[in-house]
């Protein structure tokens, strides 16, 4: 079977090409060509979607539909004022596109502003436009999001439910017997290694090495890393591979995790799988695969106290990203040392 990441990249490239042809001004071709070697296909795809909304906004609000998006030329960017960009950010709070209502939170606004700024900066630095007013617009204030994760007892419970099916609806139970070994292995791998959902669905059978309990993942940007799992994770994956072997579903080049149709499990299917079990264990927490990753990162940091090893295992390029996510735990640790250093004798 073709490589998952190659297929994903090809699909992203096809979508970018379509967006450039249909939804973006012609001068955007030069911009996307320039950033090709410095960005992933997923990053460029996100840029393309963000810029599509920006140019739709310009067409509708600034040019009052007197121009189509394809009619917009580079010189028009010089007429885009900082007030126009601020209007764009306000517009993102609630807008209609293709007869569908949309709204962006502060983080989505910040990302779209970053995409717009990057494009303006490129054309300004190249001398194609004489002014870049987007750089004058500050990034929206981002409020810290609380880290949502499973507590230790909830980790035990979600594994138990995946194995037993307790709490599932009759409709869900109809599929549980067939999928419980697979689902348990997926949850164990998330909670025992902290990998991303894209890394999990991209795994093939040949990526697993039971000799030293290791596996190969493809990180963001395409780099490969070797990670390790403990015996409980090894046992869960081993049971699933044995199950597939008995059903004639295991080949080295094939996906590790299969759907009921014998295809590679999709990101959406894994998200729904996690949500199904988590809703029983912790109905008030919006648990996703990324929250399982946070759960692992939290437990690893508490166990080691080493932010650098946590960053390395989670695949964070910048340790400050890790520190930001687990700052609350550091605060807990700082509070925990209060009183450890004695300033008076016990009998005083």
User: Other C-beta atoms within 10 Å of 346: how many?
Assistant: 5
In the chain, what are the domain boundaries? Answer: 4-136, 152-330
What does the pLDDT look like over 260-318, one tens digit per residue?
A: 998 999 999 999 999 999 999 999 999 999 999 999 998 998 888 888 999 999 998 88
pLDDT, mean over the chain: 91
Residue 333 pLDDT? 61
Residue 330 pLDDT? 56
Angstrom distance (rounded) from CA 288 to CA 275: 6
Instruction: Please give the distance of CA 92 from its chain centroid, rounded to a whole number.
Output: 22
Query: Residue with structure tokens 């999928």?
Result: 179
The C-alpha angle with vertex 242 and arms to 197 and 198, in degrees rounded to 5, equals: 10
pLDDT exceeds 50 at position 116? yes
Residue 251 pLDDT? 66
On the 0-12 / 13-18 / 19+ scale of CB atoms within 10 A, 336 is: exposed
Angstrom distance (rounded) from CA 150 to CA 274: 12
Cβ neighbours for 70, distance < 8 A, ≥ 6 positions apart: 25, 26
Residue 1 pLDDT? 41
Is there a contact between 85 and 116 (Cβ–Cβ < 8 Å)? yes
pLDDT exceeds 80 at position 21? yes
CATH superfamily of 152-330: Intergrase catalytic core (1.10.443.10)
Residue 347 pLDDT? 63
Is there a contact between 319 and 307 (Cβ–Cβ < 8 Å)? yes
pLDDT exceeds 50 at position 43? yes
CATH hierarchy code of domain 4-136: 1.10.150.130
Angstrom distance (rounded) from CA 119 to CA 41: 16
Angstrom distance (rounded) from CA 190 to CA 229: 10
Percent of the chain with pLDDT over 70: 92
């Amino acid at each position: 079977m073709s490589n998952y990441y190659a297929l994903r990249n090809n699909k992203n490239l096809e979508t970018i090409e379509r967006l450039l042809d249909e939804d973006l001004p012609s001068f955007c071709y030069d911009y996307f060509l320039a950033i090709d070697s410095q960005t992933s296909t997923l990053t460029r795809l996100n840029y393309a979607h963000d810029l599509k909304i920006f140019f739709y906004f310009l067409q509708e609000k600034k040019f009052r539909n007197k121009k189509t998006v394809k009619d917009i030329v580079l010189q028009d960017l010089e007429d885009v004022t900082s007030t126009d960009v601020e209007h764009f950010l306000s517009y993102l709070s609630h807008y209609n596109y293709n007869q569908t209502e949309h709204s962006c939170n502060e983080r989505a606004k910040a990302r779209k502003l970053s995409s717009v700024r990057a494009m303006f900066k490129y054309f300004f630095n190249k001398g194609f436009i004489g002014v870049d007013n987007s750089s004058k617009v500050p990034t929206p204030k981002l409020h810290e999001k609380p880290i949502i994760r499973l507590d230790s007892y909830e980790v035990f419970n979600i594994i138990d439910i995946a194995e037993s099916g307790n709490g599932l609806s009759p409709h869900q139970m109809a599929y549980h017997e067939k999928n419980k070994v697979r689902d348990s292995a997926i949850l164990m791998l998330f909670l025992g290694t902290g990998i991303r959902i894209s890394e999990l669905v991209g795994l093939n059978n040949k990526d697993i090495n039971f000799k030293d309990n290791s596996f190969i993942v493809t990180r963001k940007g395409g780099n490969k890393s070797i990670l390790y799992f403990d015996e409980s994770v090894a046992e869960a994956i081993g049971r699933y591979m044995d199950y597939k072997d008995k059903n004639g579903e295991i080949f080295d080049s094939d996906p590790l995790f299969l759907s009921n149709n014998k295809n590679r499990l999709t990101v959406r299917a894994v998200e729904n799988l996690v949500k199904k079990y988590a809703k029983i264990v912790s109905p008030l927490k919006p648990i996703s695969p990324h929250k399982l990753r946070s759960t692992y990162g939290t437990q690893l940091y508490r166990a080691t106290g080493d932010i650098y090893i946590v960053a390395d295992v989670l695949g964070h390029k910048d340790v400050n990203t890790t520190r930001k996510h687990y700052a609350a735990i550091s605060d807990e640790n700082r509070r925990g040392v209060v009183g450890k250093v004695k300033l008076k004798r016990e009998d005083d």
